[in-house]
Amino acid sequence: QKEVEQNSGPLSVPEGAIASLNCTYSDRGSQSFFWYRQYSGKSPELIMFIYSNGDKEDGRFTAQLNKASQYVSLLIRDSQPSDSATYLCAVNVAPGGTSYGKLTFGQGTILTVHP
Amino acid sequence: GAGVSQSPSNKVTEKGKDVELRCDPISGHTALYWYRQSLGQGLEFLIYFQGNSAPDKSGLPSDRFSAERTGGSVSTLTIQRTQQEDSAVYLCASSVGVGETQYFGPGTRLLVL
């Protein structure tokens, strides 16, 4: 089982729709969770981070975390063609964990928003 | 302020040559990370620094890879006797402290012929 798994996609949604990106993780010691966006040929760009169970909203983006289910998701409302990119889920474990410090990334989900 | 910078942006080298990749973190960030992204592969952790120390270098693929950080700032990743499988984008990130949000540089695209 991979440490961080994402629905591989590609995911295609029409402009204006909600895009839902999902991520599961295996280490129950995971503490902080990040969503990065990566355009083709570019480096990852932070969208959001979340530490606590529940929802966190920032503009059109909502991150949802459920530690009991080891699940984190990203919702993009009113999707735009400019949202078309690869979305990376990343996880960091708590201090004291053997892999503390480094981010463990999923393989990414390719999102295409078509006009 | 300025983000993470990396140089060179692109590097083409011949198999067997040594290469040095440089990372300049965001000013004031004490933690610095190196990752590698190969075509079709996810982001793979290599090593991170807290100040000038490297608490976790578990991701370095072989002893041909080494990294150092001096003055709590600039870091250099060195690959000796490069192999074709070393071809990848090498990404550097920095954060205020270990475990905090990481911000990535533009990467160095390495091609080993």
| Phi then psi dihedrals of residue A88, to 5 deg | -110, 130
Q: Please judge whether B101 and A49 are an interchain contact, meaning their C-beta atoms are less than 8 angstroms apart.
A: yes
- In this prediction, residue A41 has a pLDDT band, given cuts at 50, 70 and 90, of very high
pLDDT value at residue A2:
72
Longest CA–CA span in chain B (Å) reads 38
Per-residue pLDDT of chain B (113 residues; tens, 9 = 90+): 589 999 999 999 999 999 999 999 999 999 999 999 998 778 999 999 999 999 889 899 999 999 999 998 999 999 999 999 999 999 999 999 988 899 999 999 999 99
Residues of B in contact with A104 (CB under 8 A): 45
A90 band by pLDDT with thresholds 50, 70 and 90: very high
Contacts of residue A13, Cβ cutoff 8 Å, sequence gap at least 6: A19, A79, A111, A112, A113, A114
Contacts of B25 (CB under 8 A, 6+ apart): B4, B32, B73, B74, B75, B92, B94
CA dihedral A44, A82, A106, A91 (to 10 degrees): 60
pLDDT of A97 strictly over 80: no
pLDDT value at residue A100: 79
pLDDT range class, residue A17, cuts 50, 70, 90: very high
Question: What residues in B contact A100, CB-CB < 8 Å?
Answer: 56, 98-99
Task: Give the closest of B43, B50, B99 to A105, CB-based.
Answer: B43
* Beta bridge pairs of residue B88: B110
DSSP-assigned letters across all residues of chain A:
--SEEE----EEEETTSPEEEEEEES-TTEEEEEEEEE-TTS--EEEEEE-SSEEEEETTEEEEEETTTTEEEEEESS--GGG-EEEEEEEEEPTTSTTTTS-EE---EEEEEE-
Chain B interface, Cβ < 8 Å to A:
31, 33, 35, 42-43, 45, 48, 50, 55-56, 59, 89, 91, 98-99, 101-107
Closest by CA to A22, choosing from A93, A89, A104, is A89
Mean pLDDT of A29-37: 92
A18–chain B nearest CA distance, Å = 25
| Per-residue model confidence (pLDDT) at position A30 | 87
Does the pLDDT value for residue A24 go beyond 60?
yes
Measured between alpha carbons, how far is A55 from A87 in angstroms, rounded to an integer? Answer: 18
* Confidence tier at A93 by pLDDT (50, 70, 90): confident
